[in-house]
Amino acid sequence: MPNKLFIPPLELKIGEQTLRFNSVTDIAFSMEGRTAILSAKLSELFKLSTDQLETQAEMIAGVNKYLFSILSCAVENPDSIDRSMRGLDTLLFSQDHSWRDIVQALNEGNEEFNPIRMTVLTKYMKYLSSLEVTIKYICSDRKRAIGVPVDDNEKEMRESDTTWAHIQSGSELGVDSQTENEFKRLPNDKEVSVKLPPGERLDIRLASHKCQIIATDNDMQFIDNTRVTILNKGRNIVGRSAESTVKVDAIQKDVSRIHLQIIISDDHTLQLTDLSSTGTCITAVFLT
- For residue 159, the model assigns a pLDDT of 40
Residues 203 and 83 in one domain: no
Cβ atoms within 10 Å of 171's Cβ, excluding its own: 12
- For residue 5, the model assigns a pLDDT of 66
Q: What is the CATH number of the domain that holds 227?
A: 2.60.200
Residues 242 and 89: their CA atoms lie apart, in Å, by: 35
Asked if pLDDT for residue 74 goes beyond 80, the answer is: yes
Among 47, 44, 142, which residue's Cα sits nearest to residue 94?
44
Helix (H) or strand (E) holding 149: none
Residues 229 and 224: their CA atoms lie apart, in Å, by: 9
- At position 256, the amino acid (one-letter code) is S
Residues 61 and 15 in one domain: yes
Asked if pLDDT for residue 151 goes beyond 60, the answer is: no
Residues 205 and 283: their CA atoms lie apart, in Å, by: 9
- For residue 27, the model assigns a pLDDT of 82
Residues 140 and 111 in one domain: yes
Instruction: Name the CA radius of gyration of the chain, rounded.
Output: 20
Strands 17-23 and 5-14, sheet pairing: antiparallel
Residues 202 and 275 in one domain: yes
The better pLDDT of the pair 228, 220 is held by 220
DSSP characters over 219-232: -EEEE-SS-EEEPP
Grade residue 52 by pLDDT with cuts at 50, 70 and 90: very high
- For residue 177, the model assigns a pLDDT of 39
Domain range spanning residue 154?
5-166
Averaged pLDDT of the chain: 81
Starting at the earlier edge strand, list the strands of the sheet with 228-230. 183-185, 280-283, 201-206, 209-215, 220-223, 228-230
Instruction: Look at phi and psi of residue 116 and say left if phi exceeds 0, alpha if psi is from -120 to 50, else beta.
Output: alpha
The domain boundary, picked from 114, 131, 166, lies at 166
> Structure pTM?
0.54
- For residue 45, the model assigns a pLDDT of 92
The domain boundary, picked from 117, 135, 166, lies at 166
Q: Output phi, psi for 256, to 5 deg.
A: -70, 160
- For residue 169, the model assigns a pLDDT of 31
Determine the Cα angle at 74 with ends 73 and 77, to 5°.
90
Asked if pLDDT for residue 19 goes beyond 70, the answer is: yes
- For residue 237, the model assigns a pLDDT of 94
The domain boundary, picked from 108, 132, 166, lies at 166
- For residue 272, the model assigns a pLDDT of 95
- Read off the pLDDT of residues 89-105 as tens digits, 9 standing for 90 and up: 888 899 999 999 999 98
Residues 23 and 155 in one domain: yes
